[in-house]
Amino acid sequence: MSEYLPWELSGTSLESCNCEAICPCRTIGGRPGGRSTTGLCLGALSWAIDQGRAGDVDLSGLGVAMAIRYHDDEPGSPWSFYLYLDERGDERQREALTQIYLGRLGGTPLKQFPWAFKDSDLLGVRTISIEVDHTRGRGWFRAGDQVTVRIREPVPDQEPVTCVIPGHHQPGREVYADTLAVDDAPLDFEFSGNCGFESQFAYSSDE
């Protein structure tokens, strides 16, 4: 896969899970995070790539999404997840993004993507219609009919909140979700009023 090296991606991210806001897994006011609210984390993540390149492959303007599950009490808390790729991308763009998001091209994902730096269960990689609007405080995204996330509003009067996936060095903000819905067996759940997180990201093959 050296044809996709070096690589770099930057843009905005939005995620939501079933934890209560503010998600206790995050770093809050400089205090490291801990267990999820119920021990079982169910969620969805999205990335809007503003600027991106892998080797000579332009990745700018594409979207990526995931649906995930893990349990704090399972040994190693492995993530079970689907990776969704933007159907607007061609074969080489989709292959590059698959390799990047699965951590196979190294770099920052091996420090920031829990599903990449520990044993996890990849349920599938789907090429699908991805719609993303990361307008601050009221963003949303969809991945086909399988994933829908819509944000209601920011959490008021919050301490600084960061998350490992966009990176603790990135500024972010905790939000309430109006809708978090995933329908892609074996992942099947729906929540409202739960937590979300909006941020920026900058990943690369250069650690």
pLDDT average, residue stretch 167-182 = 96
**Per-residue pLDDT tens for 9-56?**
999 999 999 999 999 999 999 999 999 999 999 999 999 999 999 999
Cβ of 67: how many Cβ atoms within 10 Å?
A: 28
CATH number for 114? 2.40.400
pLDDT average, residue stretch 57-84 = 97
What pLDDT shows up at residue 2? 86
Strand extents, DSSP E, 18-62 = 27-28, 40-54, 57-58
DSSP string, 172-194: EEEEEEEEEEEEETTEEEEESS-
**What residues make up the domain containing 162?**
2-204
pLDDT average, residue stretch 108-115 = 97
**Per-residue pLDDT tens for 141-172?**
999 999 999 999 999 999 999 999 999 999 99
pLDDT average, residue stretch 89-97 = 98
The number of domains in the chain is 1
What pLDDT shows up at residue 25? 95
Q: With pLDDT > 90 as the criterion, what percentage of the chain qualifies?
A: 98
